[in-house]
Structure 1
Amino acid sequence: MTTPTFLTMYQQLIANPSVSALDSTLNMSNRPVIDLLASWCEALGFSVEITELEAAPGKFNLLAKRGIGHGGLMLAGHTDTVPFDDSRWNFDPFQLKQHDNRLYGLGSIDMKGFFAFVLDAIKVLDEQAVTQTQPLLLLATADEETTMAGAQQIAKHADLKPARCIIGEPTDMTPVYTHKGHMSSAIRVTGRSGHSSDPERGVNAIEIMHTVIANLLQLKEQLKNKYSIEDFVIPYPTLNLGHIHGGDNANRICGCCELHIDLRPLPGLSIKELQMLLLDAVSPINRQFPNSVEVIDLHEPIPAFSSNTDNALVKLAEQVSKSKAVAVNYCTEAPFIQQLGCETIIMGPGSIEQAHQPDEFLAIEKVAPAQHMIQQIIQNSCFNNVD
């Protein structure tokens, strides 16, 4: 068996839905994508290990390896996509569409397409008859868009020790050496409902939430003023009030109100420290109204990621891309992959501006340069040089 052409791989990856969502009615298995990648990897001489996630039955990681021993380069990405609103798409999300010099499709840049780039680069190097000198690995994970359970599980792998790892999230092939973390929390206020004609007989959760929000806005300013890393476009940790719901009728005292917030910690600001700051913000309210305010993680918090800009992988990526490594505000699987002890960066085709958007696309003029850069990095890390 031989691997398909670059565009055929791209088409087949897009054609197999693999949405991950906390809503069980939208959530899908990624097994069809994993099986496709496994067949192509085996055709290129890789040994393949497929593992079901302990935290998410029906979801799978793939680890493919060619070469013996530790070290070498691992190319990593996630196989899942976000849910989509079909009414906002002008194209079929699951059919790769070439139009106006763009490749449209769900996952075209975030980030199924990366696997087509990697496998095509390996095939080209094999055709040039260069000798592989270091282990070459491909990692495909599940549930990055929700819990990052796939990356968290692979971080515990007993015998996985690559020297380098590139995570192919869409960065327009600019190397990323650091990013913020991500916490999503629910602030739940429980009051006591009753008839609105007698307010003193109840405890209004919306009124308590008003105080909670005031304290959170103070915390927002505290984070902005106390913590800063100038490498980031937004140099401070952010706190966003994203969703709120409370009460059920105008003539009832609200018995429950819930607010969902998003926090993005900088490197150096630990998840534990940020959680304590959040608890400190609501603790005076709980003293006034005992046990009225709960803080609940909506998912496992994701720590910030940072690597050394002087390491060999960053320098190679900068040389190949002709771009200085940058810091970004979004987060990836990098902090978990880094636990394997490897030099880690994020670098992949496509723009982050297209991620999670209707009519997600990759500009066709970016394909050839990205192919060349990925091939150069793989060649430098794992193959004899080509004249």
Structure 2
Amino acid sequence: MTSATISLLEELVGFDTTSSRSNLALVSRVADRLDSLGARVRLSYDDTRAKANILASFGPQVSGGVVLSGHTDVVPVADQAWSSDPFRLTERDGRLHGRGTADMKGFVAACLSAATGFARTDLARPIHIALSYDEEVGCLGVPRLLDDLLAHEQKPEVAIIGEPTGMRIGDRHRGFLGFRTRFEGRAAHSSDPGAGASAIYPAADFVGFLKTIGHRTGAGADGTTINVGRIEGGTAINIVPSLCEVLWEFRPVTAIDAAEIEALARAYLARAVPDDIRLSILRDIHVPPLSAGSEQAALAVATALGGITPPLPMPFGTEAGFFQAAGIPAVVCGPGSIAQAHQPDEWIARAELEATDAFLARLTGWASREAT
């Protein structure tokens, strides 16, 4: 089956689905393939209708079964030095190079290859392939995909998110909340600063506050972290700045951590920002954490299919927390290495795709009537 998976991976890599671009050409090709196999195929679009999710379901419309979750978008290749065309699959020494091979078109290709087996098997439990748009810029597509799934299919038993883990099972990861905090003051000539209201000073004070709570929270996959990613403000050295914007994020271990950190930041801003500064706070990214302890069903299924144990915390966020929040136990388990994700000359090994093909073949057997 691996040769079919590699052929499909070559086709998928050939679509430039960088998040800033439409993914509809890939969606059309994949949807046609899955439809031809007899899947129940549904598309859900973003507001511009330039991007779409794919939900393809095989087997009976009953509760239980598995969701195989992936995303179609990739990160940019700009300013990266590639040894070959990033949108053309190139094999060197058993490594398949191309943008998205590890993150995560390798897993998507394996699912599309396995779909032939799903279609030919008398399934007792459904298997859903769920492919989202805009994961790389904040998991923007998956909420609509989940709404579509729960509105038109019975709730699945488990979800397996195929982000690159080397086929090791990940049972927890931090969330990701991103904020755009804007300070608006009043411009003035720098010879008379009192005539204006600097937006940079309260913004700088806020950055200092974030640093202090960041030092308290910890670090690593099992600790909440805080980061200020960008500060932008001012127009010239001799003008009191009327505008400053701070882009910052934190990665909570639990939903309680998320609520506490956000409350701390909002309380500081409410008491510390001067009255002559207008403040706006936009939370534009919200990826929920995947919490361990309630995912035994998903862990059991992934282990039975050949996922490597013991389960470990993931250092990166995924769409798994959205499935968990929707009441669908989820784990992360997919081919490739996260160390290759977003890198120039990104690659996935043939052996990883072979392991994924075997994993999905066992899934077909698990879902079949003969296995029940």
TM over 0.5: yes
Q: Quick check: 1:75–1:137 contact (8 Å CA) kept in 2?
A: yes
1:165/1:56 Cα in 2 relative to 1: closer, same or farther (>3 Å)? farther
In the other structure, the counterpart of 2:341 is 355
Q: Quick check: 2:121–2:368 contact (8 Å CA) kept in 1?
A: no
In the other structure, the counterpart of 2:290 is 305
Q: Which amino acid aligns with 2:350?
A: I
Q: Quick check: 2:55–2:129 contact (8 Å CA) kept in 1?
A: yes
In the other structure, the counterpart of 1:228 is none
Give unpaired runs (5+ residues) of structure 1: 21-26, 225-231
In the other structure, the counterpart of 1:77 is 70
SS at match of 2:250: strand
Offset at residue 86 of structure 1 (A)? 5.4
Q: Quick check: 1:122–1:375 contact (8 Å CA) kept in 2?
A: no
Give unpaired runs (5+ residues) of structure 2: none
Residues in 2 aligned to 1:86 and 1:241: alpha-carbon distance in whole angstroms: 23
SS at match of 2:96: strand
- Alignment deviations for residues 225-248 of structure 1 (CA, whole Å, 9 cap, x no partner): xxxxxxx94322110011112212
Residues in 1 aligned to 2:128 and 2:29: alpha-carbon distance in whole angstroms: 16
1:383/1:108 Cα in 2 relative to 1: closer, same or farther (>3 Å)? farther
SS at match of 1:197: coil
Offset at residue 271 of structure 1 (A)? 4.2
Offset at residue 133 of structure 1 (A)? 2.5
Offset at residue 324 of structure 1 (A)? 1.2
Residues in 1 aligned to 2:202 and 2:72: alpha-carbon distance in whole angstroms: 42
Residues in 2 aligned to 1:154 and 1:344: alpha-carbon distance in whole angstroms: 15
Offset at residue 383 of structure 1 (A)? 5.7
TM-score by length of 1: 0.86
User: 1:18 aligned to 2:33?
Assistant: no
Q: For 1:64-143, what aligned pairs fall within 5 Å after superposition?
A: 64-70=56-62, 71-85=64-78, 87-123=80-116, 131-143=122-134
User: 1:155 aligned to 2:146?
Assistant: yes
Q: Quick check: 1:307–1:345 contact (8 Å CA) kept in 2?
A: no
Q: For 1:220-299, what aligned pairs fall within 5 Å after superposition?
A: 220-224=214-218, 233-269=220-256, 271-286=258-273, 288-297=274-283, 299=284
SS at match of 1:175: strand
SS at match of 2:6: helix
Q: Which amino acid aligns with 1:14?
A: V
Residues in 2 aligned to 1:120 and 1:317: alpha-carbon distance in whole angstroms: 19
SS at match of 1:220: helix
User: 1:52 aligned to 2:42?
Assistant: no
1:305/1:152 Cα in 2 relative to 1: closer, same or farther (>3 Å)? same
Offset at residue 168 of structure 1 (A)? 0.9
Residues in 2 aligned to 1:314 and 1:378: alpha-carbon distance in whole angstroms: 17
Offset at residue 264 of structure 1 (A)? 0.5
Offset at residue 190 of structure 1 (A)? 2.1
Residues in 1 aligned to 2:134 and 2:368: alpha-carbon distance in whole angstroms: 29
Q: Quick check: 1:74–1:164 contact (8 Å CA) kept in 2?
A: yes
Residues in 1 aligned to 2:276 and 2:194: alpha-carbon distance in whole angstroms: 17
User: 1:333 aligned to 2:327?
Assistant: no
Offset at residue 131 of structure 1 (A)? 4.0
* 1:213 maps to which of 204, 207, 210: 207
Offset at residue 51 of structure 1 (A)? 2.6
Residues in 1 aligned to 2:48 and 2:167: alpha-carbon distance in whole angstroms: 31
In the alignment of these two chains, the number of paired residues is 366
Q: Which amino acid aligns with 2:355?
A: P
Offset at residue 188 of structure 1 (A)? 1.9
Residues in 1 aligned to 2:118 and 2:280: alpha-carbon distance in whole angstroms: 55
Offset at residue 343 of structure 1 (A)? 2.4
1:268/1:50 Cα in 2 relative to 1: closer, same or farther (>3 Å)? closer
Residues in 2 aligned to 1:351 and 1:137: alpha-carbon distance in whole angstroms: 24
Identity %: 29
